[in-house]
Each structure stands twice: as structure tokens, then as C-alpha cells.
């Protein structure tokens, strides 16, 4: 294509019309294509696998395929057919010998608590029964296993453990989302809201929302005058002041978090200072970190530049003539500020606040390091389920819910500012 | 602020309040960063100013924490990892990002808005969400606990910065100049090198600095996907803060502050040079 697009001097090339129209478009698209492909694979791929993981959970179904097949025709009432007993016994005994049953039992336990001990305890006796039957040369059919299992644990005669297995064996399921919204499985298999004291995630979402809102408002209260001062200083001073905002922006998040620990901890600089000037006694050192206060202060510090910078760029474009006109028409400075200046800065306020809020609700590192127990947010819970409890379905559902919220906010941001206009300081 | 106003006492009080408030806010922004620097020279293993330090007693200051940074590989290996991962991710992000920005800036680019939204989405998605997805996805591909996996993840987070900074340098670019170059006999590659490259270079450099800084400071992906071999500087600081906090971390922090200052000055210098040329 290149040779055809470099015509010799003074002689326009004779190209077909479609090519003249399409060529530049193809070339432009071709330049963007590698990154589009890269983002699709390395970023959209993971996002898709996140969403998939949140409702696709094949592990139990794959571990107990025969049991699931045998339970397919069962109506969920009374005792299931004998094939189900035979299948579950075969699969439990086999998995137990291969030491993979514990994993499956854990999965089932997440759906109905208590199932882990039922499965692990009963299966041990089932292994013994299978061995004894083999030694005696007895027939181990469905009827045999029904009697044996009910003898080991009478609960197998009722529908509850079977319903639990069936529920855990669903490949496509909403249960992670239900759990993420604090619903739990009731005795009849339907989902009901958990009792208030056991609700974890909805209150945590709520707390994350409130903390983000609080941090955003605090950033606005601090950032508005700061942005105003930078925007209305002579250029030299404005540049210096801008650097004071940009340095924290560029400084490693971990450095800033470390410094808040150094400043705020019990034996830290602020407490030492307060004791030294006699404001508090040595006994009365204030707990400013490893709690919600720490999360609040550190997050405000980290996010403040994200609010100041967009606000500053809007304020810079507000012509001072309007304020002067308002004042010379008799408005007090405060009236002029409220009725003339503030409305003109609203686009910056909206953009800055939204960006700050969106960043705040996904914060993980800062609350994890300075938040203690009370300062943890939803992202800390997501990380916990990824790294510690290994309940990946639930982690995915929590992250997907958070993603939904963030996407909603970006739609608002797009209406307000335009998503392609996100700038950098 | 408002010249020619009859200055009432209330206004004067408010004005002083405003200045005092702003000064306090600037101190709030900058003091927590600067306070670490003198503390990193503490001769004692404390995280606070000793009496000797407050008297400016030279005995109270030492370089021991800086020496301990380079003792053994506790910090030098993470530093090397961070540099390898950061530089590789930056190269990928810069090449792909600059090309994409050139395409996006072209007047003939189809579907510009949606493509832009797609390309910057990694930057604006909370890292915790992307991190969970990447953990699943890269584990399936066998890329978890490898340098390659983390480099790819960091590159996709860094590319939007390059797209944005390069796009900014191309805003208002007169594309007829390119046609003029072509008419004068330059092939597209020559036209790019002689006309566009000098123009976008400051944006490319700023963008790559942003991308490098983003990778250099990234922790969530490393926590989820990195193994022992992928311990980066932030990862080591994370353990340092959580487990055995030692003032060595303050020396590392000072080093990172100096890095931030350098990166910031470079980007600002390029920005002002660009503004002066317009």
C-alpha cells in the first residue's frame, strides 16, 4: 500500500475511488489495531473470565458427575432413587482414596454449611463399608448403599444433604451473587436474607460507599480553595504551587502510606508532638491509625491531587471579569463567589468528585495497611477471598458487583464530561 | 483577588482565613512526603525524631539504613525485578500506545469514541477488579507467577497513559501537512519521521514516564499474580510495612521520592517546552 500512496511530484495518483476513501481509514484503524488487540486479550479477557467465574462454577459437577446424573430426575422430595446412593457412594469412595474429596466437600459446604463434616465423616465409614462388603463378596448395589448410608447417618434418608449436593452441582448459578448480597440458603433450598447480625457484604458495600463519599467531600472542601489559589496566582507562583500538588501525585503510594504510619502511629511524630507540647498526656496518645481515621486521612491525602487537578484546569478558564462585574454591580464578595464563581466551576467539581469517588471505591492497598479492622473496605474482602479463603466465585461476584457500580458512575461521567476527555495533570 | 473592592473587615478576615487554609492544605499535601527524608538518616532504629536529631547533632544522623538497603539482596533483588518489569512493560505500552494515538488522531479514524473508551478502560477500572480477573485469566494460561504475566498486565495499564499524552500533542495537528509532505515526495514513513515524530516525542516521553511510574508503583497485580521470583519494590515495602518494619524502608522511600521528583520535573519540563512552542 505504501508505494501506491507515495505519488511522484506533481502527478496525482490514479487510485480507485474506494481506495481513496478507504485507504486512510484503514491506515488509521491499522495503527490503533495492535493496541486494541492487546487490550482485548490482556484486559478484556480477564474481565470476561471474572464475569464468567462469578456465575459459572463447574467444580462440584465435574467432581461428582454420576451423582448429578442420578439426581437429575429426582423431584427433591423424600429419598432419592437408589442409583443416586450407588453413584454417590462410588464417587465418594473413589475421591476419598485419591484425596480429592476434601476439596469437593469444601465447595458443597460453601453452599450449605455443615456439609463438609457430613461428607468427610460419613465417607470415611463408607470406605470401610465398601471394603467390608468386598471382603464378604456382598453385592454393593443401590439398595445396599441406601441401607448402609442411612445406617451410617440417618440424614441421607431425608432430602437435605441431597438437595445440598444438587445445588452445589449446578454449573451455572446465581449463588455467588446471592451470597455477595447477603442472602443465604434456607432449609427448603430457597434463598432468604441472612439475619441482620450475619450480614457482611451489603454493610461493607455501604461502608465503602459512605467512606468514598466522605473522602470525596473532604477532598472537595480542601481542594476547592487550593485549586482556586493556584488558578489565581501569578504564573511563577502558580507553577510552584502546582508542583506541590503534583509531587504527591507522582510519589509512590506505598511511600505516602508509610509516611502516614510514621506520622500517626502511637509512638509517631504527631503523638510525640502533642505529648511534648503537653496537649495530651503520655497515657492519652490518640489512636489515629489502624482504624477508620487512618483510612480516611491517608485516602484523602492520596486522592486530593485527583480532585485538585481537574478543578484547577476548569478554574483557570473562568474569566475574572465576571467576578469583578458582579462585585462592581454591588454583590458582596461572598455573593459573587456563590452565585457567579461557583456555578462556573461546577463542571470541574463534578468531574473531579466523580473521578475521586470512583478511585476511592476501588481502594485496596491503603485501607489494608492503615485501616486496621474497622477501616477495611469491600476491596479488602475481595482480596481476602482471592488469597486466603480461596472462594473465587464469591470474589468474582463481589468484584463484578463493584464493576457494575463503577460502570454506572462512568456512564454519568461520560454524560457530564466525556469519557475520552480524561486528562493527566 | 478582587481589585477595587471596598475592603470590609469581614472580607479581610475571610481572606486571611482562605490563605491560612490553603497554606495548611499545601502542608498537608507535602509534609508527609518530606518528613520521611530526614528520618531516613536516623542513627537509631526509630521512626521518630530523636532528641539528637532535633539538636542537629551530627552523631544522631547516619547512613546506616542506606547501607542496609544494599546489604544482601533483600532490597536489591526487588529493585532489579521492578526495573526489569517496569522497563519491559513501558516499551510495550509506549510502542502500542503511540501507534494507537496516531491512529486515533487521524481524521479518518472510524469509531473513535468507542475505541478510545476501550483503550483507556484499563486505566480507569479499579485495579482490584482487574486484578481478580487477571488472576483467573493468567492462571489459566499458566502466566501467573511469571515475569511475562506481570509485564503484560502492567503494559496494559500503562498504555492508556501513552495514548492520552501522545493524543494531547496531536490535538490541533494539521493533517494536510502530511499530505503536503507526501506531495513533496516523502513516503509515509519519512513523513512520519520528519513531521510527526518530533511533534509527538515529548508526549511519547511523558507517556512512557507515566507508564513506567505506574508499573514501578503497582502492587495489587503483583500481590495477586506474583510469586517469590516476582517480588518488586512495592511488594517488598508491603511486607516491610506489615511484618518487620525497619527504618531501611525509609531509605527506600527517600529513593522513591527522588525518583518521583525526577519524573515530575521531566514531565513538567516537556509540558512547558510544548506550551512555549505553541
Q: How far is residue A71 from each of residues A61, A68, A84, A186, B239, measured CA to CA in Å?
A: 12, 5, 6, 20, 49
B269 inside domain: no
- Probe site for chain B from A26, A209, A236, A254 (most B CB atoms < 10 A): A254
Instruction: Assess whether B209 and B84 both reside in one domain.
Output: yes
Task: At A387, give phi and psi (nearest 5°).
Answer: -100, -35
Cβ B216 vs Cβ B86: under 8 Å: yes
B167 is a domain residue: yes
Nearest to B106 among A28, A259, A420 (CB): A28
User: Which pLDDT score is estimated for A44?
Assistant: 96
- Collect all residues of chain B within an 8 Å Cβ-Cβ radius of residue A25: 108-110
pLDDT at A176: 92
Mean pLDDT, all residues of chain B? 89
Domain assignment present for residue B276? The answer is no
Are B55 and B174 part of one and the same domain? no
Q: Is B253 a domain residue? A: no
The pLDDT value recorded for residue A4 is 45
**A248 touches B256 (CB < 8 A):** no
Q: Is residue B262 part of a domain?
A: no
Q: Give chain B's end-to-end CA distance (angstroms, integer).
A: 29
Give me the pLDDT at residue B2, please: 46
CATH number at residue B239: 1.10.3720.10
Last residue of a domain, one of B20, B44, B66: B66
The beta-strand segments (E) located in A105-203 are 183-185, 191-193
pLDDT < 70 positions in chain B: 1-7, 244, 277-278
Flag whether B179 is in a domain: yes
**Residues B109 and B210 grouped into a single domain:** yes
Best of A215, A227, A262 to disrupt the B interface (most B CBs within 10 Å) is A262
Q: So what's the pLDDT on residue A400?
A: 96
* A296: nearest Cα among B28, B215, B123, B48: B28
Name the domain count of chain B.
2
CB contact under 8 A, B163 and A35: yes
Are residues A226 and B260, on separate chains, in Cβ contact within 8 Å?
no
Q: Is residue B99 located within the same domain as residue B213?
A: yes
For B7-24, the DSSP string reads --HHHHHHHHHHHHHHHH
Q: Which residues, including other chains, have CB under 8 Å from residue B139's CB and lie 6 or more apart?
A: B225
Q: Do A35 and B26 touch (CB under 8 A)?
A: no
Host domain of residue B57: 10-66
**Beta-bridge partners for A172:** A56
pLDDT of amino acid A5: 45
Q: What does the pLDDT look like over A57-68, one tens digit per residue? A: 999 999 999 999
- Rounded distance, CA B94 to CA B89, Å? 8
Q: How far apart are the C-alpha atoms of B275 and B278, rounded to whole Å?
A: 5
Co-location of B90 and B184 in the same domain: yes
- B255-266 residue pLDDT tens: 999 999 999 999
Q: What is the pLDDT of residue B153?
A: 96
At residue B141, the 3 state secondary structure works out as coil
Q: Residue B258: what pLDDT?
A: 95
Residue B3, domain member (yes or no): no
SS3 B108: coil
Helix (H) or strand (E) holding B128: helix B127-140
| CB proximity list for A56: less than 8 A, separation 6 or greater | A171, A172, A173
Please tell me whether residues B45 and B175 are part of one structural domain: no
Give the ipTM of the model, two decimals please: 0.89
Q: What is the spatial distance between Cα B41 and Cα B50, in angstroms, rounded to a whole number?
A: 11
DSSP helix, strand, coil percent of chain A (3-state; round to 5) = 75, 0, 25
Q: Is residue B268 part of a domain?
A: no
> For residue A323, what pLDDT is reported?
84
- CA-CA distance, B275 to B183, in Å (whole number)? 30
CA A345 distance to own-chain centroid = 32
Evaluated on CA atoms A361, A362, A367, A372, the torsion sign reads positive
Of the candidates A146, A163, A148, A165, the one whose C-alpha atom is nearest the C-alpha of residue A105 is A165
User: d(Cα B261, Cα B252) in Å, to the nearest integer?
Assistant: 14
B contacts of A249 (beta carbons < 8 Å): 264
Q: Give per-10-residue mean pLDDT for chain A (425 aa).
A: 45 59 82 96 96 93 92 86 91 91 91 90 91 87 90 91 90 92 80 86 94 96 96 92 93 92 88 88 87 92 93 89 86 85 88 89 91 89 94 95 92 75 54
Half-sphere exposure of B234 (CA within 13 A, CB side): 26
Residues of chain A with Cβ-Cβ distance to B137 below 8 Å are: 45-46, 48-50
CA atoms of B130 and B214, how far apart (whole Å) = 15
Regarding whether B206 and B150 lie in a shared domain, the answer is yes
Question: Using an 8 Å Cβ cutoff, are B170 and B112 in contact?
Answer: no
Residues B95 and B197 reside in one and the same domain: yes
Which residues from B are below 8 Å from A241, CB to CB?
26
Both B57 and B107 in a single domain?
no
The domain boundary residue, chosen from B20, B36, B66: B66
Within 8 A of A35 by CB-CB distance, chain B residues are 96-97, 99-100, 119, 159, 163
Are residues B228 and B94 part of one domain?
yes
Quick check: A83 and A117 in contact, CB under 8 A? Answer: no
In the block, residue with C-alpha cell 509512638: A267
Q: Does residue B135 share a domain with residue B220?
A: yes
Q: Do B188 and A251 touch (CB under 8 A)?
A: no
Q: Would you say the pTM of this structure is higher than 0.95?
A: no
B191 and B206 both lie in a single domain: yes
Q: How far apart are CA A83 and CA A77, in angstroms?
A: 16
Residue B22 has a pLDDT of 96
Amino acid at each position: 500500500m505504501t508505494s501506491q500512496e507515495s505519488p511522484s511530484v506533481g502527478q496525482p495518483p490514479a487510485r480507485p475511488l474506494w481506495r481513496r476513501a478507504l485507504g486512510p481509514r484503514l491506515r488509521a484503524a491499522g495503527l490503533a489495531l495492535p493496541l486494541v488487540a492487546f487490550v482485548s486479550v490482556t484486559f478484556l479477557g480477564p474481565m470476561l473470565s471474572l464475569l464468567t467465574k462469578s456465575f459459572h462454577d463447574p467444580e462440584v459437577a465435574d467432581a461428582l458427575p454420576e451423582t448429578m446424573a442420578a439426581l437429575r430426575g429426582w423431584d427433591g422430595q423424600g429419598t432419592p432413587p437408589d442409583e443416586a446412593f450407588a453413584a454417590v457412594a462410588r464417587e465418594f469412595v473413589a475421591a476419598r482414596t485419591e484425596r480429592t474429596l476434601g476439596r469437593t466437600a469444601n465447595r458443597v459446604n460453601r453452599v450449605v454449611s455443615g456439609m463438609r463434616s457430613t461428607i468427610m465423616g460419613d465417607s470415611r465409614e463408607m470406605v470401610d463399608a465398601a471394603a467390608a462388603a468386598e471382603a464378604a463378596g456382598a453385592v454393593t448395589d443401590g439398595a445396599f448403599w441406601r441401607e448402609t448410608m442411612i445406617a451410617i447417618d440417618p440424614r441421607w434418608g431425608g432430602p437435605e444433604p441431597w438437595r445440598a449436593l444438587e445445588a452445589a452441582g449446578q454449573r451455572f448459578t446465581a449463588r455467588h451473587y446471592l451470597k455477595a448480597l447477603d442472602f443465604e440458603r434456607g432449609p427448603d433450598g430457597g434463598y432468604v436474607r441472612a439475619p441482620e447480625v450475619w450480614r457482611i457484604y451489603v454493610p461493607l458495600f455501604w461502608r465503602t460507599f459512605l467512606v468514598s463519599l466522605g473522602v470525596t467531600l473532604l477532598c472537595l472542601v480542601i481542594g476547592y480553595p487550593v485549586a482556586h489559589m493556584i488558578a489565581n496566582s501569578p504564573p511563577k507562583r502558580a507553577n510552584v504551587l502546582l508542583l506541590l500538588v503534583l509531587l504527591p501525585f507522582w510519589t509512590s503510594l506505598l511511600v505516602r502510606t508509610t509516611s502516614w504510619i510514621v506520622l500517626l502511629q502511637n509512638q509517631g511524630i504527631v503523638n510525640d508532638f502533642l505529648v511534648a507540647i503537653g496537649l495530651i498526656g503520655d497515657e492519652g496518645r490518640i489512636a489515629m491509625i489502624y482504624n477508620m481515621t487512618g483510612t480516611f486521612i491517608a485516602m484523602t491525602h492520596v486522592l486530593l491531587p485527583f480532585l485538585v487537578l481537574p478543578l484547577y484546569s476548569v478554574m483557570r478558564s473562568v474569566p475574572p471579569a465576571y467576578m469583578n462585574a458582579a462585585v462592581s454591580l454591588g454583590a458582596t464578595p461572598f455573593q459573587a463567589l456563590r452565585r457567579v464563581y461557583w456555578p462556573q466551576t461546577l463542571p470541574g467539581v463534578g468531574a473531579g468528585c466523580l473521578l475521586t469517588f470512583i478511585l476511592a471505591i476501588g481502594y485496596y492497598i491503603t485501607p489494608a495497611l492503615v485501616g486496621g479492622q474497622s477501616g477495611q473496605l469491600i476491596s479488602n474482602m475481595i482480596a481476602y477471598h482471592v488469597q486466603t479463603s480461596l472462594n473465587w466465585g464469591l470474589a468474582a461476584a463481589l468484584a463484578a458487583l463493584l464493576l457494575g457500580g463503577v460502570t454506572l458512575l462512568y456512564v454519568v461521567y461520560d454524560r457530564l464530561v466525556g469519557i475520552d476527555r480524561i486528562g493527566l495533570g | 483577588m478582587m481589585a477595587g473592592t471596598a475592603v470590609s473587615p469581614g472580607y479581610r478576615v475571610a481572606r486571611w482565613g482562605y490563605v491560612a487554609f490553603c497554606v495548611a492544605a499545601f502542608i498537608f499535601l507535602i509534609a508527609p512526603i518530606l518528613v520521611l527524608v530526614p528520618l531516613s538518616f536516623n542513627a537509631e532504629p526509630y521512626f521518630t525524631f530523636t532528641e539528637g536529631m532535633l539538636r542537629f547533632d551530627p552523631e544522631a544522623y547516619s547512613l546506616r539504613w542506606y547501607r542496609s538497603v544494599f546489604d544482601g539482596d533483600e532490597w536489591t533483588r526487588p529493585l532489579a525485578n521492578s526495573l526489569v518489569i517496569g522497563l519491559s512493560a513501558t516499551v510495550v505500552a509506549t510502542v502500542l500506545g503511540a501507534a494507537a494515538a496516531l491512529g486515533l488522531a487521524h481524521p479518518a479514524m472510524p469509531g473513535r469514541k468507542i475505541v478510545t473508551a476501550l483503550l483507556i478502560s484499563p486505566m480507569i477500572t479499579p485495579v482490584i477488579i482487574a486484578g481478580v480477573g487477571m488472576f483467573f485469566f493468567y492462571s489459566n494460561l499458566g502466566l501467573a507467577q511469571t515475569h511475562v504475566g506481570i509485564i503484560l498486565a502492567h503494559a496494559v495499564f500503562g498504555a492508556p497513559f501513552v495514548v492520552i499524552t501522545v493524543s494531547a500533542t496531536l490535538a490541533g495537528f494539521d493533517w494536510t501537512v502530511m499530505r503536503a509532505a507526501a506531495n513533496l515526495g516523502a513516503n509515509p514513513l519519512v513523513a512520519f519521521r520528519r513531521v510527526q515524530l518530533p511533534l509527538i516525542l515529548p508526549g511519547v516521553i511523558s507517556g512512557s514516564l507515566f507508564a513506567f511510574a505506574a508499573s514501578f508503583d503497582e502492587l495489587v497485580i503483583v500481590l495477586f499474580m506474583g510469586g517469590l521470583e516476582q517480588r518488586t519494590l512495592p511488594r517488598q515495602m508491603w511486607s516491610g510495612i506489615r511484618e518487620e518494619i525497619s527504618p531501611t524502608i525509609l531509605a527506600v522511600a527517600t529513593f522513591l521520592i527522588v525518583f518521583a521528583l525526577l519524573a515530575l520535573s521531566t514531565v513538567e519540563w516537556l509540558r512547558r517546552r510544548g506550551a512555549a512552542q505553541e
